[in-house]
């Protein structure tokens, strides 16, 4: 069956909102506002995101009514920080079938490349891709080199290898961390071939730094970003969204995006 990536793309580009940190990091990322998934679904809806990424439980309880206007992406595996071990495997906790029943337009899976348990991870990821593609559902691989002292999250060669691995395994999209190396990352994107590269947001940073980083990301050849904390932890999430969205979808320059961000903040203040 043909894999339909168009549901989470607009003219070949994509801006996704990630909200699976409650499982991956625990409530330390959340406050009284952001602990409520409806708050983040509202941002996704009003910000016209090309998809919202959540775990199945959040989808089951909150993905109803007008939130269904936002394409749903379900993470199929996940692990907590309770055990605090870098070599932990992130096992599948939701089936492709269940994700589809919940309304998923795409599914996601984190691969910790270089982890001692890599053979098991790759076998499970391979099955996920096989099953999802049977239904024509695209797969986003979170390809994170991690779990061995010889590899590093942000090393350019390791990122390039992770991107290539994502392609070799059949990922439709590859989610990577950005290492602030514009030229190096262009090679990483090349290694991903026809798998489309998305970049994660990372820890919350100053919004100007984040917008500058987003501008750089869009010059590497990535098709977009899957961001979380830098949007929903911000006290003006829709202003940040508008600025990144214009850069991702309309190629807006960084200077114009910074201006737009300020204008949006002023509008909200009035």
Q: Is 227 in the site for ligand FBP (CB under 6 A)?
A: yes
Give the span between the Cα atoms of 174 and 194, in whole angstroms. Answer: 10
Considering only CA atoms, which of 170, 200, 169 is closest in space to residue 15? 200
Reported as type and span, the H/E element at residue 176 is: strand 173-176
- Least distance in angstroms from the C-beta of 232 to ligand FBP: 8
The values of phi and psi at residue 253, to 5°, are -70, 160
Give the span between the Cα atoms of 108 and 46, in whole angstroms. Answer: 23
Among 5, 24, 73, 109, binds ligand FBP (CB under 6 A): 24
Among 202, 212, 264, 265, binds ligand FBP (CB under 6 A): 202
Among 196, 213, 229, 242, binds ligand FBP (CB under 6 A): 229
Angle between helices 207-217 and 237-250 (to 10 degrees): 20
Give the span between the Cα atoms of 47 and 20, in whole angstroms. Answer: 18
Give the span between the Cα atoms of 114 and 117, in whole angstroms. Answer: 8
Contact 23, 80 (CB under 8 A): yes
Nearer to ligand FBP, 227 or 248 (CB): 227
Q: Is 242 in the site for ligand FBP (CB under 6 A)?
A: no
**Stretch of 21-29, 30-38, 83-91, 124-132 lying at the interface with ligand FBP (CB under 6 A):** 21-29
Reported as type and span, the H/E element at residue 247 is: helix 237-250
- Least distance in angstroms from the C-beta of 77 to ligand FBP: 12
**Stretch of 2-10, 98-106, 128-136, 221-229 lying at the interface with ligand FBP (CB under 6 A):** 221-229
Give the span between the Cα atoms of 73 and 70, in whole angstroms. Answer: 10
**Stretch of 16-24, 58-66, 162-170, 241-249 lying at the interface with ligand FBP (CB under 6 A):** 16-24
Among 228, 237, 239, 245, binds ligand FBP (CB under 6 A): 228
Considering only CA atoms, which of 216, 143, 224 is closest in space to residue 181? 216
- Least distance in angstroms from the C-beta of 224 to ligand FBP: 12
Q: Is 200 in the site for ligand FBP (CB under 6 A)?
A: yes
- Least distance in angstroms from the C-beta of 74 to ligand FBP: 12
Which spans of this chain sit near ligand FBP (rule: CB under 6 A)?
18, 20-21, 24-25, 53, 142, 175, 200-202, 226-230
């Amino acid at each position: 069956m043909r894999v339909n990536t168009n549901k989470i793309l607009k003219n070949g580009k994509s801006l996704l909102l990630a909200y699976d940190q409650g499982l991956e990091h625990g409530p330390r990322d959340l406050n009284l506002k952001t602990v409520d998934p409806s708050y983040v679904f509202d941002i996704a809806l009003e910000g016209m995101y090309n998809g919202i990424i959540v775990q199945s439980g959040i989808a089951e309880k909150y993905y109803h009514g007008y939130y269904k206007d936002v394409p749903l992406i379900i993470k199929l595996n996940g692990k907590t920080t309770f055990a605090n071990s870098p070599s932990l495997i992130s096992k599948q906790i939701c089936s492709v079938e269940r994700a589809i029943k919940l309304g998923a337009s795409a599914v996601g899976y984190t691969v910790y490349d270089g982890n001692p348990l890599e053979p098991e991870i790759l076998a499970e990821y391979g099955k996920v891709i096989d099953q999802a593609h049977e239904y024509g559902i695209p797969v986003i691989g979170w390809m994170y080199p991690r779990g061995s002292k010889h590899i590093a999250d942000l090393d350019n060669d390791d990122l390039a290898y992770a991107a290539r691995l994502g392609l070799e395994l059949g990922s439709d999209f590859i989610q990577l961390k950005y290492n602030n190396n514009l030229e190096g990352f262009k090679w990483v994107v090349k290694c991903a071939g026809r798998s489309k590269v998305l970049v994660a947001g990372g820890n919350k940073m100053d919004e100007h730094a984040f917008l500058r980083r987003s501008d750089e990301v869009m010059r590497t050849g990535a098709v977009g970003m899957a961001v979380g904390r830098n949007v929903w932890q911000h006290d003006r999430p829709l202003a940040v969204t508008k600025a990144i969205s214009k850069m991702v979808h309309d190629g807006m320059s960084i200077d114009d995006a910074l201006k737009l961000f300020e204008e949006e903040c002023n509008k909200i203040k009035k």
